[in-house]
Structure 1
Amino acid sequence: MHENPVHASGFPDPRFPGLRRRGFLAAAGGAAGLGALALTGCTGSTRDAADGGGKPRRGGKLRAAFAGGGASETLDPHLANLFADAARAKALFDKLADFGADLAAEPRLAASWEPNAALDRWTVRLRKATFHDGKPVTARDVLYSFRRIADPKKTFRAKASLEPLDLKASRAVDERTVEFALKRPTAEFPNLLAAFGAYIVPDGATDFDTEPVGSGPFRFVSFTPGRSAVFRRNDDYWDGAPHLEQLEFLVANEESARVNSLLGGQVEYAHELAPTTARAYEGKGQIEIIRLRNSAMQAFAMKTDRPPFDDKRVREAFFLLADRKELVNGALSGAGEVGNDLFGKGYEYYADGLPQREQDLDRARHLLKKAGADGLRVTLDTSAVAAGFTESAAIFRDQAAKAGVRVKVAMGSKDSYWQDTLESGTLCSYRSGAMPIESHISQRLLSGSTTNATQWKHKDFDALYQQAQSTRDKKDRAAVYARMQRRLYAEGGFLVWGFADWILGTARTVRGVAHRAPANTLDWARFDKVWLA
């Protein structure tokens, strides 16, 4: 995917606008689930898509199978918690920005954004776009949407992401210009606009399940919670009318049901397939298997504030106990790639120059001996709450045993696992969907982070984050993030052993599905660029 042109300051040039079993988006591994996931989006994505060649054809109906949430499902885009919710929201609504393949924010309804010198006030100019009822998208709609999300009486998904905004002091300058006031300098302000669930709805909108009105590529036709949602092409869409005439979302909670529906011709797109399914059908000619790389970080989280992991020598030893390739092959059936104890492989700001860590049992034994941790015994909390958790726990137990470390695997409840492991225990299985590296740091690694599973709390580290957020020049900001990652690589609490593929299946007639976008990006579930051959 192309990169947006930037000013010398590092900010985008405004002249060039740019899991759970049932499908919960486990973004933080804590209260949130995987985050949104990736069909074809910005200008570069269509060129990257493995569309099989041929000119896009207009017309036809695509049926997509997702795991659902039963009668509780909603089309309220601010309440989206399921993959199905997120995909339907993307079809009906727009955000001001969304994430590209490298998790950098790209303009959508926003034509541009520009900060003041202090980075605590940002001006956003809207492109010309209309809602499905013909009314223009205005600054009033933007402020209403964000204030609705931030309502302290509600629990909308994007509320935490919008926390830096001072919405009382923010204002509409004119019909298509919003001036956002912030509580503190925020260099990564565009990430707020792209936050999961930060969709723009019409001023005053409250009813989203009877006949929702958005500005997205598809218009509402019908919705039966837990069963089906039918949408039709929006010919007036600002980013070009979709190729498809109709789009239908169908609910199939079991993976086998989604696969069988795809094989039987009842659907043309099946979301969230297992690695074993991919191996069984890939290259066989019946269906197309699409792997979205780097879509889910797989890790073990060590509590750095309590024994034995309050000693950084023990943490380093555990980094060296892991045979990452064996973990990827055994726990993910090879559907992924090895990690290097840092989040965000391939994303903007990722420190890819650090040496790939390999298993070194002799060095691990030496470090444990120096730390007085010979014959260490530790409990590893895990659960069937996410794919690969129980398998990776068993594999790591056997790997650790080779260095004399006895790991006891303890199974936790699927219903309470994420909350339980935030505070209790010392070592646990962990997963995260894609998000900007800045968001990962702010949500999980600052002293005040609410989903700090490793209990990593260091004032000097917090200060570096604030320094990055106060740094206008992008190269200088990247250098601060690199410094923070070097420290995490050396002594952090996340043993990141792999990054899992997210697997989709389509009928052979489907074209235009992007193959190179990870989770949580613009190009996941973007059906307006898909067509039927």
Structure 2
Amino acid sequence: MDDERFPGLHRRGFLAATGAASLGALALAGCGGSGSEGSDAKGDGTPKRGGRLRAAFAGGGAGETLDPHLANLFADAARAKAMYDKLADYGADLSAQPRLAEKWESNKTLDRWQVTLRKATFHDGKPVTAADVLYSYRRIADPKQAFRAKASLDPIDLDASRATGERSIEFVLKRPTAELPNILAAFGAYIVPKDASDFDKKPIGSGPFRFVSFTPGRSAVFRRYDDYWEGAPHLDELEFVVANEESARVNALLGGQVEYAHELNPTTARAHEGKGQIEIVRLRNSAMQGFAMKTDRAPFDDKRVREAFFLIADRKELVDGALSGAGVIGNDLFGKGYEYYADGLPQRAQDLDKARALLKQAGAEDLKVTLDTSAVAAGFTESAGIFRDQAKKAGVTVDVKMGSKDSYWADILDNGTLCCYRSGALPIEAHISQRLLTDSTTNATKWKHKDFDALYQQAQSTRGKTERAAVYERMQRRLYSEGGFLIWGFADWILGTARNVGGVSTKAPANTLDWARFDKVWLA
């Protein structure tokens, strides 16, 4: 029976699915340690044991699954994190932190790595072994499947890799890489028991919560696993409920039907922050916001035009207008605050006179371009309108074209010349490998330079971290001067919680390890 005060909210706390909420370009990523650092503790700040926390997420309808290798939505990722573990996960600065892997070590040529597992058990009491890891990775890499982590695991030669003991594995790589831990932390690279196949009726993981029940598109219930290797959760139970509309999540939180609401917009946050009814949590630096210029076609095949567009942008106006101030300005580089970020480059500011001069040098006076956008992501339509008005001051006519929410990400990958773009947290190395190499599968700017590819390979095969950082800085300096991403800001990811919820991290970007760490949360 529906509760008339909250349409779609059922008496037992279930929120009916009203459509899919894709991650789009948001990629997933983690924070190491105990999970308590940077926590936002309510009440008296003392963790308490017991109770059921209900968390509202946008969902994927009747097609949802608990198969962690098929995770694609935020709800999928949060449920997978509750039930399963990876060998590693990403820290707040997007460096890889050990999880099920207790330690790792490479040979001198960086093409063989020894990984030692910590002592951990699955929910049926069986130990997590090297055989489970190899089964999981080979399942993900199955060419007949469409598991998202498949591309991330590609550098590993799984035919040659082998167990060297019950809790030790030798990973053989197809090419030297200094950053195998990033691969171990890849989104979706969860470890499941050997030969596991029934993930929706009797799933077994090694995570902090064990399975109780699952209704696709409606609800999933999990119970504390007392023998979890990192310590039992504070909560007795955790329930995920589905609410696709932000208003439904907020109303459920305000009405006491849930204690945690994922992904609130800046307007909602401003309306409730500091008012005492609910708590607003801002996860800084969670989403890159920008425009992608295709560098292989006119007018952006001329780097002077790209530089002019860098100088047209008033970044503060874009952050204030498109994000309602819920973010910080960018500097045309991905990963602000992340490991290897080149933070020594001058902050770019609007310079319309220089922009006009560059356009004149390029023979692009009175330039007209189409900017593809969509309501697929927060701030996209707003930023398109703001940038259109900014460009007009430099003599550039921008025609804003609205695209379909359902097909936007596929449409803009190869088509058009200029589009709105965003990305979630992931390592700078992964951003480069996925989007900026000649053979990258999601190269929205069509940045293809063999010498740039060679620098990436050099970084991957450089053992020393300081020396490797220097190579990444060289690459970023080039992108800063002539790349195709105009990155104007980094948005906060906003959560809402009831006032009696403690232990929610305020330091980890969305989809890092300490995001949705419900094993560290308690009810005061």
TM-score class normalised by the smaller sequence = over 0.9
1:425-464 matches, cutoff 5 A? 425-464=416-455
Tell me, yes or no, if the aligned pair for 1:21 and 1:385 is still in contact at 8 Å: no
User: How far, CA to CA, are the matches of 2:205 and 2:37 in structure 1?
Assistant: 28
Per the TM alignment, residue 36 of structure 1 is displaced from its structure 2 partner at its CA by: 3.2
Tell me, yes or no, if the aligned pair for 2:459 and 2:468 is still in contact at 8 Å: yes
Per the TM alignment, residue 172 of structure 1 is displaced from its structure 2 partner at its CA by: 0.4
Partner of residue 24 from structure 1, selected from 1, 22, 25: 22
User: Counterpart in 1 of 2:250?
Assistant: 259
User: Counterpart in 2 of 1:47?
Assistant: 37
1:35-434 matches, cutoff 5 A? 35-36=27-28, 42-43=32-33, 45-52=35-42, 53-434=44-425
Q: Which moved further from structure 2: 409-418 or 232-241?
A: 409-418
Q: Give RMSD over aligned pairs.
A: 1.2
User: How far, CA to CA, are the matches of 1:379 and 1:258 in structure 2?
Assistant: 35
Describe the superposition over 1:244-272 as per-residue Cα deviations: whole angstroms up to 9, x where unpaired: 01000011111111101100111000001
Give the secondary structure class of the aligned counterpart of 2:474.
helix
User: Counterpart in 1 of 2:11?
Assistant: none
Per the TM alignment, residue 42 of structure 1 is displaced from its structure 2 partner at its CA by: 3.8
User: How far, CA to CA, are the matches of 2:19 and 2:514 in structure 1?
Assistant: 23
CA spacing shift, 1:339–1:261, aligned 2, 3 Å:
same
User: How far, CA to CA, are the matches of 1:491 and 1:309 in structure 2?
Assistant: 10
* Percentage of identical aligned residues: 79
Describe the superposition over 1:72-98 as per-residue Cα deviations: whole angstroms up to 9, x where unpaired: 010000001111111000000000000
User: Counterpart in 2 of 1:510?
Assistant: 501
Give the secondary structure class of the aligned counterpart of 2:365.
coil
Tell me, yes or no, if the aligned pair for 1:302 and 1:493 is still in contact at 8 Å: yes
User: Counterpart in 2 of 1:15?
Assistant: none
Give the secondary structure class of the aligned counterpart of 1:167.
strand
Give the secondary structure class of the aligned counterpart of 2:193.
coil
Give the secondary structure class of the aligned counterpart of 2:263.
coil
Match of 2:309, as an amino acid? F
Tell me, yes or no, if the aligned pair for 2:130 and 2:168 is still in contact at 8 Å: yes
User: How far, CA to CA, are the matches of 1:21 and 1:275 in structure 2?
Assistant: 22
Describe the superposition over 1:319-346 as per-residue Cα deviations: whole angstroms up to 9, x where unpaired: 0000001111111111111100000000
Per the TM alignment, residue 21 of structure 1 is displaced from its structure 2 partner at its CA by: 8.4
Describe the superposition over 1:8-61 as per-residue Cα deviations: whole angstroms up to 9, x where unpaired: xxxxxxxxxxxx9843222xx3xxxx12378xx643641321213432111111
Give the secondary structure class of the aligned counterpart of 2:75.
helix
Tell me, yes or no, if the aligned pair for 2:20 and 2:61 is still in contact at 8 Å: no
Q: Which runs of 5+ in 2 are unaligned?
A: 1-17
Tell me, yes or no, if the aligned pair for 2:32 and 2:90 is still in contact at 8 Å: no
Match of 2:288, as an amino acid? M
TM-score by length of 1: 0.94
Match of 1:169, as an amino acid? A
User: Counterpart in 2 of 1:491?
Assistant: 482
Instruction: Confirm or deny that 1:519 pairs with 2:507.
Output: no
User: Counterpart in 1 of 2:6?
Assistant: none
Aligned residue-pair number: 506
User: How far, CA to CA, are the matches of 1:358 and 1:78 in structure 2?
Assistant: 42
User: Counterpart in 1 of 2:15?
Assistant: none
Match of 1:67, as an amino acid? A
User: Counterpart in 2 of 1:13?
Assistant: none
User: Counterpart in 2 of 1:12?
Assistant: none
Describe the superposition over 1:264-308 as per-residue Cα deviations: whole angstroms up to 9, x where unpaired: 111000001111100000000000000001111011000111111
User: How far, CA to CA, are the matches of 2:408 and 2:255 in structure 1?
Assistant: 36
